[in-house]
A and B are shown apart, each in its own frame.
Chain A
Amino acid sequence: MNLQVVYCTHQTASLSVRERLAFSSPDHLSDAYNALKERFPQCEFVIISTCNRVEIYTAHDAPGSGPNLRQIAQFLSEYHDVPLDDFYSELSEKSGTDAVKHLFDVASSIDSMVLGESQIVNQVKSAYDAAARATACGLLTNTLFQRALTVSGRVRTETRLSEGRISIASVAVIDFGKSIFDSFADKTVLVIGAGEMGEETLRYLKSEGVKRILVCNRNPDRALRLAHEFGGIARDWATLDDCLAEADVIVSTTGADRPIIDVPRFKAVRKKTGDRPVFILDVAAPRDFDPAVGKIDDNVFLYDIDDLEATCQRNRKNRAHEIEVALKIIEEETARFVHDLNHKSTGPIIKQLREHWQDISRQELDQLFRKSPNLAEPDRQAIERTVDRIVNKLLHPPLEVLRDESRDGTPHGLLDAIRRLFRISG
């Protein structure tokens, strides 16, 4: 199996690195696929880019024909115009079975910052859809990602990982928002951006009793749709500063490739609001708020994704048992996937071998029946069954060896030996 993944996640790299390597918009992603296909035309690709991870999966036919870690890093460096030294040490790589398990971990939210969160499944699915649209994926990545979504469903059904705090928004609001405000019912919530994360945050805040919601997005139609869904008010992008001044809680989730709110801009907003407490949750990657905004005054409480890491680690410790159950499922599914995949690779040889031997036996039987035309039909059938049994018994040992060997990967040597021994082409 020629599969590998090069990645940086919240566990391996800081947000300041991840946000520089992120593919924040569909256009970026599409460009990236074109660039990758141009560089490595023989390969299949799927890119997963979220606030917590940037991962590039590559698959290829021949061993050694795919890009290595250095080449992928070089691509990221050139594509994002980021010096290689700034992030190379924070990249990780996995290949083969480990890469499969990694994707299953990701899709099952085992690798997520917020254990059991549901957004990641949609993010994996969106990444796969985007790769398919860009005609970047192929047979192996198709099989892999479809299986990953199935595994994710199984983990959710057979474990209790999805119970309790299940979104980044809920973790942030419970741990920090509720320590600032006693109640959200009398607060104004501003959501900047109208993506899935914004939607998820609003769903949670709505359950906390929020009544006044403002949605501000560059695309007014999407703002209107989100505002309508949660009983909020869609605001024009040009009025963002006024919205910021009105809000007590700000959730920013845009796909902007650089901060949209810097210190001078937010200082001007604070001049209008006084030093009323404001809770800002910046879940975008790259970040929408300059981190220095949090230092403007004592009542600006700014949190980004990485600020939730410690809470999420504690949450993870509390659910060690569920993680164990999920990991067992993932290991089992990984082994099954790898076996299926390898078995599939031995399939053509087995088929040809069987057909070859059956052809020989058919030829010999025809010859026998021509020489003995007086053989009764029951006798003919008995002879045919005996020959079939002989062929099957002769085929059994090599096929069994092939099956056993394919558990640990495609047995290229053995397949080659069979081809040569039995003169099978292809």
Chain B
Amino acid sequence: MIHFDKVSTLCFFASYLVALGLELTQFLRSSRINRWAAIGFTGAGLIAQTIYLVHRTRESGMPPLVGSMHDWLLVLAWVAAAVYLVLMLKDRHLGLGVFLLPLILLLVSSSTRMSKVSRVRDAQYAVEMLHASLLVFGIAGVAIAFLLSLMYLVQHNRLKHKTPDPDSFQLYSLERLGRMNWWAVVGSAPFLTLGLASGVWLAWNSRTTSTPVDLLSPGYVGSGIMWLAMMALFGWLVSRQQSSGKIVAWRTLWACGFLLVTFFCFEMFSSGIHGQKKAPALPNLSRIWFPEAHT
């Protein structure tokens, strides 16, 4: 009998870490065995993570997206791991592991710092679910845009330095990376906007509760600034006529990187999360992304 409760974040974190290690060995020596082993470890990690999330859902009776910030981040990591597996099984020469696996590891490790306390189902459940889902897609899009920009710059650098295409570390063409990057930014912008709007709506509704959320708090204002930065990038990408792909990649990298770093820093170094027991020392983004948690 499988003991689902024995599966911990350490299980899949270790699997992803080994997979990353195996991917890094490709820089030393190209090896098909190591590539398959990396795919295998990622697959094992994904299975363990799925079991863990299923177990968490059963325990709390809430879907992971709205259960807690811990679960929400794990869903994001799960999506990234699944995307990595699908892409690698499609083309085993791709060198995506060194880009995606660190992100997955960051998400999993960040999740361990977040509260696991699940909130209870309330009247706002449907809106909360929509809010969390939109933000997952929005943040995933931002993360993908960030990674694609990084890949673009690596590929561009390789081509400019006339280095041969490594057998086991191939990347997509600049043309495809540029196109995917454009879609990632353009696609994530509406999700973030709607996610933020639904969060504001939830915060506005919290006025009548015992713990109202202040929309003018630094956290909210900071979040609004980040959103504006993303919108500026979005507007520039949509309206640009002729811009160097490298410039687009750099701007996307900075904008998305700034958004992601700020988001994770707020979450990691403040304790605000869904159903937190202790009041946060700093205004944190979870209050903005998940304002219902503070109601």
Verify A275–B242 contact, CB threshold 8 A: yes
B171 at the interface (CB under 8 A from A): yes
CB distance from A44 to the nearest CB of B (A): 40
Verify B173–A180 contact, CB threshold 8 A: yes
Q: A274-B242, A297-B244, A299-B245 are in contact. Are A176 and B159 (CB under 8 A)?
A: yes
Verify A181–B159 contact, CB threshold 8 A: no
Determine the main DSSP class of A at the interface with B: mixed
Cα separation A176 to B245 with both chains bound (whole Å): 16
Q: A179-B174, A180-B173, A277-B174 are in contact. Are A310 and B164 (CB under 8 A)?
A: yes
Verify B176–A182 contact, CB threshold 8 A: yes
The contact string, 1 if C-beta is below 8 Å from chain A, for chain B 202-230, is 00000000000000000000000000000
* In the complex, chain A residues whose CB is within 8 Å of the CB of B160: 298, 301
Cα separation A101 to B164 with both chains bound (whole Å): 31
Verify B164–A182 contact, CB threshold 8 A: no
Verify A175–B173 contact, CB threshold 8 A: no
CB distance from B145 to the nearest CB of A (A): 18
A178 at the interface (CB under 8 A from B): yes
Verify B246–A299 contact, CB threshold 8 A: yes
CB distance from A280 to the nearest CB of B (A): 12
Verify B162–A307 contact, CB threshold 8 A: yes
* In the complex, chain A residues whose CB is within 8 Å of the CB of B165: 174-176, 179, 311
Q: How large is the interface on A (under 10, 10 to 19, 20 to 34, 35 or more residues)?
A: 20 to 34
Verify A179–B155 contact, CB threshold 8 A: yes
Cα separation A301 to B242 with both chains bound (whole Å): 17
Verify A175–B246 contact, CB threshold 8 A: no
B175 touches which of A176, A277, A297, A314 (Cβ 8 Å): A277
B156 at the interface (CB under 8 A from A): yes
* In the complex, chain B residues whose CB is within 8 Å of the CB of A274: 241-242
* In the complex, chain A residues whose CB is within 8 Å of the CB of B159: 176, 179-180, 301
Cα separation A256 to B156 with both chains bound (whole Å): 31
Verify A314–B164 contact, CB threshold 8 A: yes
Cα separation A250 to B163 with both chains bound (whole Å): 20
A-B residue pair count with CB separations less than 8 angstroms:
56
B158 at the interface (CB under 8 A from A): yes
The contact string, 1 if C-beta is below 8 Å from chain B, for chain A 175-195, is 110111111000000000000
Identify the closest chain B residue to A175 (Cβ).
B165
Name the interface residues of A263-315: CB closer than 8 Å to any CB of B.
Answer: 274-277, 297-299, 301, 303, 307, 310-311, 314
The contact string, 1 if C-beta is below 8 Å from chain B, for chain A 196-234, is 000000000000000000000000000000000000000
Verify B162–A181 contact, CB threshold 8 A: no
* In the complex, chain A residues whose CB is within 8 Å of the CB of B174: 179-181, 277
Verify A181–B173 contact, CB threshold 8 A: yes
B245 touches which of A175, A277, A307 (Cβ 8 Å): A277
Identify the closest chain A residue to B174 (Cβ).
A180
Q: A310-B164, A311-B164 are in contact. Are A298 and B175 (CB under 8 A)?
A: no
CB distance from B203 to the nearest CB of A (A): 43
Name the interface residues of B30-52: CB closer than 8 Å to any CB of A.
Answer: none
* In the complex, chain B residues whose CB is within 8 Å of the CB of A303: 162
Most chain A CB within 10 A, of B164, B176, B179, B241, is at B164
Verify B245–A182 contact, CB threshold 8 A: no
B173 touches which of A182, A276, A299 (Cβ 8 Å): A182
* In the complex, chain A residues whose CB is within 8 Å of the CB of B158: 179
* In the complex, chain A residues whose CB is within 8 Å of the CB of B244: 275, 297-299
Cα separation A301 to B156 with both chains bound (whole Å): 9
Cα separation A314 to B164 with both chains bound (whole Å): 9
Cα separation A181 to B165 with both chains bound (whole Å): 14
The contact string, 1 if C-beta is below 8 Å from chain B, for chain A 12-48, is 0000000000000000000000000000000000000
B242 touches which of A175, A180, A276, A298 (Cβ 8 Å): A276
Cα separation A182 to B179 with both chains bound (whole Å): 10
Name the interface residues of B168-184: CB closer than 8 Å to any CB of A.
Answer: 171-176, 179
* In the complex, chain A residues whose CB is within 8 Å of the CB of B245: 277, 298-299
Cα separation A301 to B31 with both chains bound (whole Å): 30
Cα separation A277 to B155 with both chains bound (whole Å): 13
CB distance from B150 to the nearest CB of A (A): 16
Cα separation A179 to B179 with both chains bound (whole Å): 14
Identify the closest chain B residue to A312 (Cβ).
B164
* In the complex, chain B residues whose CB is within 8 Å of the CB of A181: 173-175
B163 touches which of A174, A276, A310 (Cβ 8 Å): A310
CB distance from B77 to the nearest CB of A (A): 29
CB distance from A320 to the nearest CB of B (A): 16
Name the interface residues of B94-132: CB closer than 8 Å to any CB of A.
Answer: none
* In the complex, chain B residues whose CB is within 8 Å of the CB of A276: 242
* In the complex, chain A residues whose CB is within 8 Å of the CB of B173: 178-182
CB distance from A184 to the nearest CB of B (A): 11
CB distance from A386 to the nearest CB of B (A): 74
Most chain A CB within 10 A, of B155, B159, B160, B165, is at B159
Identify the closest chain B residue to A313 (Cβ).
B164
Cα separation A310 to B158 with both chains bound (whole Å): 13
* In the complex, chain B residues whose CB is within 8 Å of the CB of A183: 175
Identify the closest chain B residue to A310 (Cβ).
B164
* In the complex, chain A residues whose CB is within 8 Å of the CB of B167: 314
Cα separation A182 to B159 with both chains bound (whole Å): 14
* In the complex, chain B residues whose CB is within 8 Å of the CB of A178: 173
* In the complex, chain B residues whose CB is within 8 Å of the CB of A182: 172-173, 175-176, 179
* In the complex, chain B residues whose CB is within 8 Å of the CB of A310: 163-164
Cα separation A303 to B173 with both chains bound (whole Å): 17
Name the interface residues of B219-269: CB closer than 8 Å to any CB of A.
Answer: 241-247
* In the complex, chain B residues whose CB is within 8 Å of the CB of A299: 244-246
Cα separation A298 to B247 with both chains bound (whole Å): 9
Name the interface residues of A351-374: CB closer than 8 Å to any CB of B.
Answer: none
* In the complex, chain A residues whose CB is within 8 Å of the CB of B156: 298
- Beyond A182-B172, A298-B246, list 9 extra A-B contacts (CB 8 Å): A179-B155, A179-B165, A182-B176, A275-B244, A277-B174, A298-B247, A299-B246, A301-B159, A301-B160
Residues of B within 8 A of A (CB): 155-156, 158-160, 162-165, 167, 171-176, 179, 241-247
Which 3 residue pairs are nearest across A and B when measured between Cβ atoms?
A: A274-B242, A311-B164, A307-B162
Please name 20 pairs of A and B residues whose Cβ atoms are closer than 8 Å in the assembled complex, sorted by A. A175-B164, A176-B159, A178-B173, A179-B159, A179-B171, A179-B173, A179-B174, A180-B174, A181-B173, A181-B174, A181-B175, A182-B175, A274-B242, A275-B242, A298-B160, A298-B244, A299-B245, A311-B164, A311-B165, A314-B164
